[in-house]
C-alpha cells in the first residue's frame, strides 16, 4: 500500500512452493466477492466471464446493519434522533448488533468470518444472481450453513462436500477441530461453552454489548 503497487495475488498468501497457479481467471467473481463487497452478485455468464454487480465495493453500513432506507427516512426528524439519544432507546428501524442476543450478534460478523457452504446448488445459483438473503439479526444464515468438523448436522450437504472435495475438511481444520485458516473466528466461537451460554455463563459475542444509560454508583460499574 505504501509503495502504491499491485502485487500478484499468488504472492500475498503463504503457500507451499510447489502449489503452482493458485487462482484462476474469474476467481474474484466466483469466490472473493462473496464477502469483500456489499450485496455482491457474480452473475456468471460462461467460461471465465461474469456480469458482476455490487451494491457497494467494500463493506458498507448495510452489510452489518441491514437495509437502511427506513432508518434514513425516520431519522430525518432531529427530534426523533435527540429523543433516542437521551433515553438510550433502541431504534427499531435498523439492526444494531450491539443490542442483539449473543448468537445473532456473532452471526452478523460470522456471515463472512466463518467456514460456510451453500445449502444446495439452487441456493448457490440464487446467491450468484441476486445476492445474499441473510439480514443482520436473523438466527441462521440464509442459503448457507456454518460448517463444523465432525458434526452430524446437514448430512446431505456434508456428503456432497466430501464427494466433490475430499480435502474440504482437512484443508480447513486441524485434526482437533481447530480452524486452520485466518478470518474464520465464528467456528471456534460456536464451539466454546461461553458462546453456548447458560444460567451461569454469559453468551460470548464478537462485539461489546450496548451500554445502558444510568447513573453509576461509587465502586460499581454500569454495563
- Spans of all domains in the chain: 97-210
**Helices assigned H by DSSP within the chain:** 27, 33-36, 61-65, 69-74, 78-87, 102-110, 121-130, 155-164, 168-172, 185-190, 193-196
Supply the pLDDT for residue 202: 64
For the entire predicted model, the pTM comes to 0.82
81-100 residue pLDDT tens: 999 999 988 899 999 999 99
CA–CA gap between residue 155 and residue 162 (Å, rounded):
11
Calculate mean pLDDT across residues 161-174.
92
pLDDT at 221 over 70: no
57-87 residue pLDDT tens: 989 999 999 999 999 999 999 999 999 999 9
Supply the pLDDT for residue 211: 65
Residue 65 burial (CB count, 10 A)? 17
Calculate mean pLDDT across residues 136-141.
94
Q: What is the SS3 assignment for 69?
A: helix
Residue 67 burial (CB count, 10 A)? 14
Amino acid at each position: 500500500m505504501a509503495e502504491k503497487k499491485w502485487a500478484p495475488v499468488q504472492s500475498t498468501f503463504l503457500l507451499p512452493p510447489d502449489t503452482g497457479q493458485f487462482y484462476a481467471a474469474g476467481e474474484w467473481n466466483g469466490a472473493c466477492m462473496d464477502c469483500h463487497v456489499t450485496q455482491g452478485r457474480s452473475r456468471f455468464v460462461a467460461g471465465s466471464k461474469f456480469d458482476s454487480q455490487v451494491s457497494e465495493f467494500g463493506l458498507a453500513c448495510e452489510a452489518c446493519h441491514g437495509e437502511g432506507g427506513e432508518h434514513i427516512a425516520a431519522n430525518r426528524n432531529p427530534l426523533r434522533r435527540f429523543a433516542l439519544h437521551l433515553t438510550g432507546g433502541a431504534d427499531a428501524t435498523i439492526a444494531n448488533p450491539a443490542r442483539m442476543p449473543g448468537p445473532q450478534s456473532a452471526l452478523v460478523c460470522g456471515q463472512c468470518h466463518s467456514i460456510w457452504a451453500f445449502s444446495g446448488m439452487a441456493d448457490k445459483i440464487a446467491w450468484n444472481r441476486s445476492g445474499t438473503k441473510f439480514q443482520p439479526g436473523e438466527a441462521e444464515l440464509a442459503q448457507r450453513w456454518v460448517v463444523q468438523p465432525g458434526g452430524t448436522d446437514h448430512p446431505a450437504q456434508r456428503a456432497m462436500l466430501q464427494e466433490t472435495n475430499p480435502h474440504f475438511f482437512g484443508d480447513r481444520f486441524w485434526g482437533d477441530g481447530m480452524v486452520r485458516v485466518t478470518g474464520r473466528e465464528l467456528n471456534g466461537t460456536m464451539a466454546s461453552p461461553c458462546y453456548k451460554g447458560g444460567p451461569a455463563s454469559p453468551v460470548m459475542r464478537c462485539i461489546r454489548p450496548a451500554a445502558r444509560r444510568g447513573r453509576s454508583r461509587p465502586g460499581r460499574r454500569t454495563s
